[in-house]
Structure 1
Amino acid sequence: MTQRTTLLASAAVIAAIALLPVARAATEPKEAAPSAATEATDQALVDMKALTEQSTRFKADAEAALKVLDEKQGILDTLLKDTKGARQFTDDMVRLLQATADRLAPNAPYMTTLQAQLEIVRALSRNAQASTDPANRPFAETFDRQAGQIAAIIAEARDLGTRLVAQVETMKLSRDRIGFAYAAAKTDAFIQAAREYLDTARGVLSGATDLANRANTINSPAVPTQ
């Protein structure tokens, strides 16, 4: 074999070795790129999962909202009753005031009890002063002091009773004004509760609208063909 032949053979071997990766790459199977239909299906599954989660949240929120609506309805019913009873409210105040004044009337049990106790203590004072035992006479001073305290209470009670009677008449004259003010305050509270009721219902509608809009943007996953 000549030197020229040897060189040609060597070159052929080197060329063959260089071509091996190319040939291997050509013969090895290539991974197929995902099709547009596959990508669409995957995205649809992701969207449906998100829609399911949103639906679950909406259900919980709607159930909570219904409880709030029931609570608000109870408040509204109470305020309605209070507004209707504004006149009764003022009548009750007059009645309570009159009942308090009656407790301090001259013939009321409280007053007659005070007077009876005062008479007993004054009698005890006289008995102590008249006692033949000098050791008993100091009690007269004690009973006199106590009698003075009871008499002061009686005088204060009479004055308070008189002022209560006068206040009853004043309350009767201003009864309508107090009733109107009471009804107006209750109506303000009613309006606030009614607005909160609507806001709660509006929140349910907003959640349902968002859920429906999201559902309309989702395409069903493609069904693979056999």
Structure 2
Amino acid sequence: MLSIVAGLDWARVVERLLYLFPPVIGVGVVGVLQELEYPVPGLDFGLFLVGTFGYTVLTLALAVALVLDAKRVREQPKASGNWRPHPWLNGLFALVWAPVAGVVYLARRHRRFGTPAGWSGWWLVVAATLVTTIGGLVAAIVAFLLAIPGVVAAAIGLAGAIAVGAFPVAIHQDAAYVCTQSNSWRPNPGVYLGLAFLSLSIAPLQPLVAGYYLRKRRREIGLGDE
């Protein structure tokens, strides 16, 4: 058991746990479902359980992951330079405000160690969420003006919520890739993950962040085969 714990890349565990927060919190799905005209027995209670206990479990897991990764960083003083994160303070911060604690930690960690890059096509997902968000906003306006039935409007809203839920993962992963390809622009994946989280509660921010990011990426390294 100890060998498994020691062998885990806890920074990557922190990333994956953060990716799960938007779906658990709801990303607006709870609000959309509550607007349905046809009530589902036990739905409200089920959503309450998922939202409450799911968030609690993720918070505890994130706190543990931050403590273990911070301990590992402190054991590498030459690699971490002047940054020596305090394990228990990071863990306590996570218990108070988990998503923010995780984002801040990843942003600071990236400055010292970078973030492993993966698939080069994550920008496609960023673009898809941008198109879906704009389409959802337009559809919502049309639905309001034409008095489209509530179920159709709810379906449009749910599709938009799912698309926006993918945005944090996509922009974080793509920023990590861009950092390995560009010398003039090195977007901090942790910072963009934080902006993506913020955009989930401030709807107009998502297309602005996504649009700026894609424009900047196209200028620096291109999109796809450009």
TM-score (norm. length: structure 1)? 0.26
Q: Does 1 or 2 have the higher relative contact order (CA < 8 Å, sep 6+)?
A: 1
- State the structure with more CA Rg: 1
TM-score (norm. length: structure 2)? 0.26
More helix by share: 1
